[in-house]
Every structure is written in C-alpha cells, then in structure tokens.
Amino acid sequence: LRQTILKVNSLSTLKSSNNGIISRAYSLFQARTPLQSSFLRLASPLVEQVCGFKVKLKLQKRCKDCYIVVRDSRKYVICPTHPRHKQMSMVKKPKYTWILSHACQSKIKPW
C-alpha cells in the first residue's frame, strides 16, 4: 500500500512538472500579432484531392462500369465506381497534323 501511494505521488509530481514545461513551451509558440497568427496557423485545404486522368495512347476499359466519351477531339474513359480508371487519349502536336499540298525537294526554297 505504501509503495502504491509513493508511485501515485511521484506520478502526480511528474505530471505537474511536465504540464508546466508544456504550458511554457506552448506559450512560446502562441502568436501575439495577426502576422504571426497567420504564419503559425495550419493552412486548411481548399481543394479536395481527386484522381487525375492518365494520358494514354491506347485507351482500354478496365471494368464493366467504364465508358468512353469524346470531347474536344479527345477520347476519355470515365468510370463512376473506380476513379483510378480515368484515362484520356493523347493529342498530336499541330506540327504532326499538317497536310502538305505538294512536296518540295529543292535545296533552294522559293520563298
């Protein structure tokens, strides 16, 4: 019985001494001006993170719920059940989509 009382007393003094240290340390980090308060405050997330599209050359449906949509000359695979299945097709660079009206093979260009 005497040992348990000693243990309880030592724990209470330990808690009180730690509490003082913690409160002093906390007071050091407390902000006193508006500038410091905005600096020390945790930033709340403004946007909820979601799965982005994977850019692929060949699209494939990965489950029965995936479906293909065409928007702005690009194909998209959209899946409402598994957002990680979202894909979109690559778009060619404009320089690879040029249509040549005639071929010119001379060393000196006419222009």
3-class SS of residue 27: helix
Q: What is the mean pLDDT of residues 26-55?
A: 65
The model's confidence at residue 79, banded by pLDDT at 50, 70 and 90, is very high
Of all residues in the chain, what percent carry a pLDDT higher than 90?
33
Residue 69: per-residue pLDDT: 97
Rounded Cα gap, residues 89 and 54, in angstroms: 8
Query: Is residue 30 pLDDT above 60, yes or no?
Result: no
**Beta pairing, strands 54-56 & 87-89:** parallel
Q: Mean pLDDT, to the nearest integer, of 39-65? A: 81
69 residue type, one letter? V
- Whether the per-residue pLDDT at 54 is higher than 60: the answer is yes
pTM of the model: 0.46
- Residue 99: its pLDDT value, please? 78
Average pLDDT over residues 81-99: 89
> What is the maximum span of the chain, computed from C-alpha positions, in angstroms?
108
Provide the pLDDT confidence category of residue 35 given band limits of 50, 70 and 90: low
